[in-house]
Amino acid sequence: MATINENYMKLQGSYLFAEIARRVAAYKEANPSADIIRLGIGDVTQPLPAVCIEAMHKAVDEMGKAETFRGYGPEQGYSFLTEAIIKNNYTDRGISIASDEIFVSDGSKSDSGNIQEIFGTDNRVAITDPVYPVYLDTNVMAGRTGDIKEDGHFEGITYLPCTAENSFAPDLPKEKVDIIYLCCPNNPTGTTLSREELTKWVNYAKKNDSVILFDAAYAAYITEKNIPRSIYEIHGAKDVAIEFRSFSKTAGFTGTRCGYTIVPKSVMGRTKDGSRVEFNKLWNRRHTTKFNGTAYVVQRAAAAIYTEEGKRQVKELIAYYMENARIIREGLQNVNIKAYGGINAPYIWLKTPHGMSSWDFFDKLLHEANIVGTPGAGFGPCGEGYFRLTSFGSRENTERAVARFAKLKF
């Protein structure tokens, strides 16, 4: 009989969002007429920008003609997209990225989960707490951790607490770590790291020969000028950081799937005999072996957001969601619920009232207000007592949800 990867047995129950879906489905079955407003999973609700639709239609027509048909494309991405990304997100910001340092994929979730495959299993991993579950779970699956402890932490992982007390900015680890996951703007807290904070992490990585895995999926939502849009704005970061980006929230591609990862050739790892190896080469090998490339039609749609009209439409889309964030944040504050985020990110991280557990708060919202959010405990032990709401709903539902909050009794 085939044996299993027993590391999977260490994982806690269902994946967070699967558990949310299960509870909502059970409630809906018992209350079929319930008018549920979903502000939980970070899925967008507004249609793709018109320029993307136009580009997809044109690309589909090309696929219908022998002279313009395309089969397998370059696994790393078509040059029309990679060049547009490099120019608009890096070169125009004074950052030099080579064409063979960018890899187009089906999204940053996939890449941030798969990237661990090119690292040895004996690396010490540091993650923030709370944290996007993919970072932790994929390292558990790979065998980099021990078992889960009573406090909800896994043995073998260095946790970096992020709470209101430290303004959700993690302190440097007291022990040496090899891999550091940072997400900015942060999911789930909706907060950011300043240029000074990121410089501190880059300096730590250079001093300790560590690698920073930097998730910048929400960079397009940054409004404040002092917050870097890329970790490569920090001097020396190209020697120690791999950056993940996504079109999912930037341009509504959650159902279309497109993202990319930057792996500078100057980011190095070591073999057991001490030789230095470019992670770029390893990721290129992994990427081309296990991935056949993002669809041509989708890449054409992604490239369209870098046209002048595309930039305007994306700006309008992001402004729509950020206005929702303002409505939620201020609505919560008006009913004396402490809320964070929602200024540089589409997430609002609230403190549950009167010391309620995050899952109890989830059930109260679902049963009494028919609102679905995400319990903070699902993002790690330090998320207990917090709750995440997203601004990706429609304007109407966002306003209705805030009105329902105002009627809740605590």
What's the pLDDT tens digit per position in 26-62? 999 999 999 999 998 889 999 999 999 999 999 999 9
Give 74-88 pLDDT, tens digit per residue.
999 999 999 999 999
pTM: 0.96
Q: What is the pLDDT of residue 204?
A: 98
Position 248 confidence tier, pLDDT thresholds 50, 70, 90: very high
pLDDT in tens, 330-345: 999 999 999 999 999 9
Higher pLDDT, 42 or 242: 242
pLDDT band at 190 (very low <50, low <70, confident <90, very high): very high
List, as one string, the DSSP characters of 125-150: EEEEES--HHHHHHHHHHT-S-PBPT
Tell me what the mean pLDDT of segment 302-311 comes to. 98
Cis peptide before 381 (omega within 30 of 0): no
The CA distance from 400 to 262, in Å, is 40
Amino acid at residue number 245: R
Examine the pLDDT at 311 and tell me if it is beyond 70.
Answer: yes
Q: DSSP letter for 408, please.
A: -
Distance CA 316, CA 44 (A): 14
pLDDT band at 14 (very low <50, low <70, confident <90, very high): low
pLDDT at 41: 82
Q: Which residue has the higher pLDDT, 41 or 408?
A: 408
Domain boundaries, the chain: 13-42+309-407, 54-306
What are the E-state strand segments in 67-110? 102-105
Sheet containing 102-105: order of strands: 102-105, 259-262, 241-246, 211-215, 179-183, 125-129, 157-161
Q: What is the pLDDT of residue 264?
A: 98
Task: Please give the average per-residue pLDDT across 214-222, as a whole number.
Answer: 97
Per-residue pLDDT band at 362 (split at 50, 70, 90)? very high
Share of the chain above pLDDT 70, in %: 99
Contact 300, 83 (CB under 8 A): no
Phi, psi dihedral angles at 117 (to 5 degrees): -65, -25
If one compares 2 and 17, the residue with the highest pLDDT of the two is 2
Coil vs helix vs strand at 390: strand
- Taking only the tens place, the pLDDT of each residue in 108-136 is 999 999 999 999 999 999 999 999 999 99
Residue 308 DSSP label: H
Asked if the 54-306 domain carries CATH number 3.40.640.10, the reply is yes
CATH topology of domain 13-42+309-407: Aspartate Aminotransferase, domain 1 (3.90.1150)
209 falls in which pLDDT band (50, 70, 90)? Answer: very high
Longest alpha-carbon distance in the chain:
66
Write down the mean pLDDT value for the chain: 96
Q: CA gyration radius for the chain? A: 21
Cα-based distances in Å from 214 to 98, 228, 242, 407: 18, 12, 6, 40
Q: Strand 374-375 and strand 241-246: pairing?
A: unpaired
pLDDT value at residue 13 = 67
CB burial class (10 A; 0-12, 13-18, 19+) of residue 170? buried
Closest by CA to 215, choosing from 121, 315, 136, 153, is: 136
Read off the pLDDT of each residue in 7-26 and give the average, rounded to a whole number: 86
| Confidence check: pLDDT of 15 > 80 | no
